[in-house]
Amino acid sequence: MSAARFRETWRDAIRAIDRQPGESWRDQLFHHGFRVAVVLTIAAAVPLLFRSHTLPETVDVQQGAVATEDVIAAFEFEVPKSADQVARERDNAERGVLAVYILDSAAADTAIENVSRFFEQADSVFGSDPARIDAAAARAFLRSNGLTVTDAQLTYLADPERRMALRRSIETAFRALLPVGVAALLDPVGQAASVVTIRGETDRLVRRDSITTLNRFHEDALVYAPQDASVDGFQIYGSLLIRFRKPTLIPDDLATRTAREQARAAVDTVADVILEGER
């Protein structure tokens, strides 16, 4: 085929593409064949030009179950603790906080002053002669101080020397025991901690089981009772201890509560961190 004939054939083909196809098979072939070729070319080129990013396969693993195959993390993420686990850990953290107490040394001085005032008034009411006491006035005085006594105990108190012995014993017990620290009750929430914090002139940590409560104070103070006291004398001594004792370890509720809130907030709510690419 000559060059002129070839060029003429291609011109006819291009014109056949642009216009309505003629009736000849050649015109039909060029008109429709070109469009089919374009579609096939685009279909082949799109996957090559726009490669898809294959998404990672997902594995459905229920909580607590073990995966049947290795699972590789596609991105970094945190694994949170369950609400129950967080609650348990926060409760444990709170129980481990040291309770804070304030040593109120002035309370010991107040207790001793109250004892001294009581016995000075008792000397005035009972007088110096046991045989001449006004029993009704004496009982009224004792009742005003929260004390009820038997006849034998009233007779015991009527003796000036015995009253003085009681006063000295109680004041000695208070001076020896109260300034060290006596708590009304120990905070039950902090029982997990074996020590507590005591704030005074200098802060210090002490063992929880070494703290004297009011009940233990009463037992310790009995050793200071008058040596020659009768049963009635011991009973009066015990009643006066209970009446005038004062706790000198005062719970610092605000400081303890703040420390417990800080401990609860410090509990990590994340069980683990899975890094990208980690199995």
Question: Per-residue pLDDT tens for 151-192?
Answer: 999 999 999 999 999 999 999 999 999 998 898 877 665 555
Cα 99 from Cα 124, distance rounded (Å):
45
* Per-domain boundaries in the chain: 3-49, 95-263
Question: Per-residue pLDDT tens for 249-276?
Answer: 988 888 888 988 988 999 998 888 777 6
Residues in CB range of 20: below 8 A, 6 or more apart: 31
Query: Is pTM, for the whole model, over 0.85?
Result: no
Question: Per-residue pLDDT tens for 74-116?
Answer: 667 788 889 999 999 898 888 888 888 888 989 999 999 999 9
pLDDT at 118: 97
Decide if 183 contacts 190 (C-beta within 8 A).
no
Cα 43 from Cα 262, distance rounded (Å):
64
Neighbours of 190 (CB within 10 A): 22
Dihedrals phi, psi of 110, to nearest 5 degrees: -65, -40
**Listed range (34-38, 56-60, 218-222) with the worst mean pLDDT:** 56-60
Residue 28 has pLDDT above 80, yes or no: no
pLDDT at 271: 83
- The pLDDT-based confidence of 5 (bands split at 50, 70, 90) is low
Q: What's the chain's length in residues?
A: 279
